[in-house]
Amino acid sequence: MFDKLTDRIKELHDRAGTRTVFGDPMEIRGRTIVPVARVSYAFGMGMGQGRRRPEGQDGTVGEGGGGGGGISVRPLAVVEVTDTAVNVVPVVDATRLAIAGMVLAAWGVFWVGRALRTRHCACCGRRSEREPGRHGPAAGRGSDGPRA
């Protein structure tokens, strides 16, 4: 099993070379265009062994293992080469921007909701998420006595 995993890692490492990061140059209207990408990959693996003693048996040895991996390729920019200049045009990742906007909106909704939910009690001034004036049988009396 370990040999298969190392073979897969080596295979992916060979594929994720310069050609993966810098794509094949293309000639378009007198300009040479070279796509640029970010390539990331990760792997994990685990193995285990243990004894289990069911009732009435001497015990058996069990073992197991597993592994996994992933690869991510994201476009970063396009290099545009002309006779007079070299320009790098960044690629805007709309999905990433949308996710960042949603996270920011959720964060704002959380804090506004928390501010609206938290009240200050009229009888003792404590912050409470319960109904004001209702702190149980000892309303208004904490460990330091009632507040004036």
3-state secondary structure of 62: strand
Task: Name the pLDDT band for 88 (thresholds 50, 70, 90).
Answer: very high
pLDDT greater at residue 68 or residue 148: 68
Q: Quick one: what percent of the chain has pLDDT higher than 70?
A: 70
CB burial string 69-103: b at 16+ within 10 A, e below: eeeeeeeeebbeeeeeeeeeeeeeeeeeeeeeeee
Minimum mean pLDDT among 1-5, 118-122, 142-146: which range?
Answer: 142-146
- The two structure tokens encoding residue 92: 């805007």
pLDDT greater at residue 129 or residue 72: 72
* Distance in Å from the first CA to the final CA of the chain: 73
Residues 6+ apart with CB under 8 A from 122: 132, 133
- The two structure tokens encoding residue 19: 């050609």
3-state secondary structure of 115: helix
Claim: this prediction has a pTM higher than 0.75: no
pLDDT at 140: 47
